[in-house]
Structure 1
Amino acid sequence: MEVTKLVVLPAVLAFFVLCLHFMTRMARLRNLNLPPGRLGWPVVGETLEFMHAMVEGNVLRFLQERVEKYDSRVFKTSMFGNPVAVFCGPAGNKFLFSNENKNVQVWWPSSVRKLLRLSLVTKVGDEAKMVRKLLMNFLNAETLKNYLPKMDRIAQHHIDTYWKGKEQVFVHPIVKLYTFELACCLFLSIEDSAQISKFSLKFDAFLKGIVGFSLNIPGTRFYRAMKAADEIRKEIKMILEKRKVDLEEKRASPTQDLLSHMLLTSDPSGKFMTEMEILDNILLLLFAGHDTSRSVLSLVMKYLGQLPQVYEHVLKEQLEIIRGKEVGQLLQWEDIQKMKYSWNVVCEVMRLSPPVSGAYREAIKDFTYADYNIPKGWKLHWNTNSSHKDPTIFSDPETFDASRFEGAGPTPFAHVPFGGGPRMCLGQEFARLEILVFMHNIVKRFKWELVIPDEKLKYDPMLEPVKGLEIRLHPSSS
């Protein structure tokens, strides 16, 4: 009996405290002018509806239904066990991007935080600024242009290996090999194809579990992702340990890749990254540095296959660049600057089919937006689709029109495939180079047609063709 009391009484007390906390919280919320919307089922909220929209590749429908129902560009919902205020349109994007460390700070679902641990994704405030600055010293245009010829060689080798002589290919899985090889080469100096292919397989399990419920039990996606992340870190650690020795013995260059840069660069106070921070940031950049670009390139191939007039215009631009070069000469920085139409095409592809659906913030204090109260601790979500398909910003938004990006381009904060503000994707310039280098090499060698012209797309977690985007290749007469 005494034992029973010792067990039951604390449980009852804990339950009572929890109920009291819940009722106090609900009473406080009732006194606030919260954005319209519904929180859905306890814990689950509207997560399943949102994830279903992701799988269907139609997140815009999830947003539009609620914007129209509540007649508001900000609405409340509940996802991943948290109340969430969803901000729509350029005004919402601008508010969240410009209020970093003032009213909001970065936040990600627990699955992302647990998988990417001490990386930049989870850093906030001054610590985030220092890590970002250190990484940007390598990922800026001035540094990356030195690696451009190497990127061109990798693209040519990739096409010779996986595309040349083929009648049909599945674009999405093959393009992954190109983007992953580039990331491995520039970040870790891995150039062996067999090692890269083996390494990339581990990333497949990691990627599939990065967004969702962090249920770490055998059989779940998250469990497989955690296991894969541990294996990837072990491989990176072996490379790191060898690199330390090679740097000490002058067998490696301080500027040969991102790993050397991270090992030898300190913050302004003289503090270096810990080994665990380096491993986690390399993991983050290998993931972000190849999978988003793979998504964009797959969709570029899709739209160029659907729109022959756009393909011809891209080809014309690339051939003009070739005519000004000696036979066999690799791409140089000035060549990239001439690819203006090609980059406008990429921007329009990312407008219509953004590789990332959006991101999250957290309210670090109570604030007001559009006359609504946003409580401290609430999660905040911005979504690329809410502004990319807005007919008040982009006329006839479903029509492909690369000219939208000529001159000054779209309304500020309307086109946000790389985010914005202090948390803007630091790999933007790296992505621009790897995409344009691939486009240059593929259009001058092939034309193609889609096997399934109306193939559907899904977010898992990046946007991808459901069946891998099979195409028929035709060697270009040009």
Structure 2
Amino acid sequence: MEPAVSVTILLLFLPLLFLLIYRRSFKRIPPGSLGIPIIGQSLGLLRAMKANTGEEWFRERVRKYGPISKLNLFGTSTVFLHGPAANKFIYTCSEKLLANKQPASIRRIMGEKNLLELSGDDHKRVRAALVSFLKPETLKLYVGRIDEEIRLHLHNHWYGNNEIKVMPVMKTLTFNVICSLLFGIERGPRRDTLVKLFENAMEGVLSVPINLPFTTFNRSLKAREKIKSIIMDLIHEKRKKLEISGISSNEDLIMSLLSMKDQSSDSPVLSDEEIVDNIVVVMIAGHDTTSVLLTFLIKLLAEDQTVYKYVLKEQEEISKGKALEELLSWDDLAKMKYTWKVATESLRMNPPVLFTFRTVLQDIEYGEYIIPKGWQVIWASCMTHMDENIYPEPSKFDPSRLESQATKPPPYSFMAFGGGPRMCPGYEFVRIETLTMIHNLVNAFTWKLSLKDNIFGRNPMPVFNQGLPIQIELKKSSAEM
């Protein structure tokens, strides 16, 4: 064949070759649609969350596309992953591939320096600082103070009432415990202002990040700035207190973080900005997640008398070994094994957080697909909680599920507290607060649901439409105290 003819044929086939290579590469991007620019599928997901059909929304994607698919959420090209293998991949993936970058709405409201945003050495440093205060060895010293705070809450919000709305009062409880124990904020105008600001900030955590007047996102950003100002004032006040005393302090979380110094340079371990952003995250996580858990527990104990009787028996046994008005101790909490199993099973069936995000730092091969650099990954890790292949009869409440080897789920199937190096640092704090509240509640009150149907949606965490009203009755023994 003449050279000129060969070159001509090659030139004719080059475009076809490039097209085949392009199409082959394009096919490796997960299936699905990116939808309308910026908006994508955001509104559909938010509507499903509000109607408490968010998990079904994701399951429909799995039925349509399989365990990996592409979409557009909150202005960013996104890949959705599903299943225990996805959970393991995300929680063990190198931080050089997947970064803890959240959507713009979450990042701007919670702050750039919070634990959910950081990776590598910065994540380890900030996490270590938080864990130093939230570890069991430290928290065991605060059990009595948490018990006091809960008893005060019951007297202020439960005693003397015939009916209460559980979710609002649980939010009040968890907020007050956090203010007292973690931040050292006394009751008064500052605390009252903060609770309203945090509620406003949470409303825009999942929203299209367009900062225009009168939008939810705009209101949340304004609330965030006011929260930052209040926390900075607290930091300055507590720093002066430390300078006067001249000694480090674990009086509360802020004091503990301010007291930490780098051993080699004697400089602060955390900057003021890092303290502010992580105080915001701790407040949101501790305030909302624990209040959700307690609300569902109270609902469950009203609906399942068998479980209620076992919990009551366990808590009454603990009370019998204590003097009148004696506060709970760390050893008492260790005896509440059945109660914590009930709480754990409640978390399996009603997880406070439905999904989480990561950002892709470089192209990632996952199965037969490529997840492109710059995209974000979303996964609903708790969807495995209701997988009948993992949990037989997943809709059945069974506190013994997680204890026996026969029914114990495989790794990365129970994700209520995260996994691996991203395990929730506040786990012990949640456990102490939950067990202490249930102990006081079942010993002092009986209750029943006021409504037959108690509907809830997610915004982004569960919110009961009517607040879960219950009719309460003070036990005779408590009334005589």
Q: When the two structures are superposed, what TM-score results if normalisation uses the length of structure 1?
A: 0.90
Matched, 1:350 2:347: yes
Q: How far apart are residue 196 of structure 1 and its match?
A: 2.5
Q: Letter of the aligned partner of 1:65 in structure 2?
A: E
Instruction: Name the residue aligned to 1:14.
Output: none
Q: CA RMSD in A?
A: 2.0
Instruction: Name the residue aligned to 1:105.
Output: 99
Q: How far apart are residue 424 of structure 1 and its match?
A: 2.2
Q: How far apart are residue 394 of structure 1 and its match?
A: 0.8
Q: Which deviates further from its counterpart, 285-294 or 401-410?
A: 401-410
Q: How far apart are residue 367 of structure 1 and its match?
A: 2.1
Question: What is the SS of the residue equivalent to 1:135?
Answer: helix
**Alignment of structure 1 residues 298-309 onto 2, 5 Å:** 298-309=295-306
Instruction: Name the residue aligned to 1:94.
Output: 88
Unaligned segments of structure 1, at least 5 residues:
1-23
Match of 2:126 among 126, 131, 151: 131
**Alignment of structure 1 residues 16-95 onto 2, 5 Å:** 31-70=26-65, 72-95=66-89
Q: How far apart are residue 345 of structure 1 and its match?
A: 0.9
Give the conservation status (yes or no) of the 8 Å contact 1:246–1:252: no
Q: Deviations over 1:324-363 (max 9, x none)?
A: 2222211111111111111111111111111011211122
Question: What is the SS of the residue equivalent to 1:444?
Answer: helix
Give the conservation status (yes or no) of the 8 Å contact 1:60–1:385: no
Give the conservation status (yes or no) of the 8 Å contact 2:382–2:416: no
Instruction: Name the residue aligned to 2:386.
Output: 389
Matched, 1:185 2:180: yes
Match of 1:362 among 359, 362, 372: 359
Give the conservation status (yes or no) of the 8 Å contact 1:134–1:267: no
Partner Cα separation in structure 2 for residue 108 and residue 250 of structure 1: 39
**Alignment of structure 1 residues 242-261 onto 2, 5 Å:** 242-250=237-245, 254-261=249-256
Q: Letter of the aligned partner of 1:143 in structure 2?
A: T
Matched, 1:377 2:393: no
Q: CA, structure 1 residues 88+355, in 2 after alignment: closer, same or farther (shift >3 Å)? A: same
Number of residue equivalences:
453
**Alignment of structure 1 residues 369-448 onto 2, 5 Å:** 369-407=366-404, 409-448=408-447
Match of 1:205 among 200, 204, 213: 200
Q: How far apart are residue 30 of structure 1 and its match?
A: 5.1
Q: Letter of the aligned partner of 1:188 in structure 2?
A: F
Partner Cα separation in structure 2 for residue 100 and residue 168 of structure 1: 51
Give the conservation status (yes or no) of the 8 Å contact 1:306–1:453: no
Q: How far apart are residue 31 of structure 1 and its match?
A: 2.9
**Alignment of structure 1 residues 137-156 onto 2, 5 Å:** 137-156=132-151
Question: What is the SS of the residue equivalent to 1:31?
Answer: helix
Match of 1:341 among 338, 352, 368: 338
Give the conservation status (yes or no) of the 8 Å contact 1:365–1:377: yes
Instruction: Name the residue aligned to 1:3.
Output: none
Match of 1:176 among 171, 179, 186: 171
Give the conservation status (yes or no) of the 8 Å contact 2:382–2:413: no
Instruction: Name the residue aligned to 1:225.
Output: 220
Q: Deviations over 1:275-312 (max 9, x none)?
A: 22222221221221211111111111111111121111
Q: Letter of the aligned partner of 2:460 in structure 1?
A: P
Question: What is the SS of the residue equivalent to 2:60?
Answer: helix
Matched, 1:284 2:284: no
Q: Deviations over 1:112-133 (max 9, x none)?
A: 1111222222212111111111
Matched, 1:167 2:166: no
Partner Cα separation in structure 2 for residue 142 and residue 437 of structure 1: 17
Instruction: Name the residue aligned to 1:297.
Output: 294
Give the conservation status (yes or no) of the 8 Å contact 2:166–2:469: yes
Q: Letter of the aligned partner of 1:352 in structure 2?
A: M
Q: Letter of the aligned partner of 1:450 in structure 2?
A: L
Q: How far apart are residue 193 of structure 1 and its match?
A: 5.1
Q: Letter of the aligned partner of 1:92 in structure 2?
A: A
Partner Cα separation in structure 2 for residue 395 and residue 274 of structure 1: 48
Q: Letter of the aligned partner of 1:128 in structure 2?
A: H
Q: How far apart are residue 411 of structure 1 and its match?
A: 2.1
Give the conservation status (yes or no) of the 8 Å contact 2:79–2:376: yes
Instruction: Name the residue aligned to 1:18.
Output: none
Question: What is the SS of the residue equivalent to 2:109?
Answer: helix
Q: Letter of the aligned partner of 1:451 in structure 2?
A: S
Question: What is the SS of the residue equivalent to 2:390?
Answer: coil
Q: How far apart are residue 167 of structure 1 and its match?
A: 0.4
Q: Which deviates further from its counterpart, 223-232 or 406-415?
A: 406-415
Partner Cα separation in structure 2 for residue 253 and residue 129 of structure 1: 22
Q: When the two structures are superposed, what TM-score results if normalisation uses the length of structure 2?
A: 0.90
Q: How far apart are residue 269 of structure 1 and its match?
A: 4.9
Partner Cα separation in structure 1 for residue 452 and residue 416 of structure 2: 24
Partner Cα separation in structure 1 for residue 247 and residue 445 of structure 2: 38
**Alignment of structure 1 residues 4-15 onto 2, 5 Å:** none
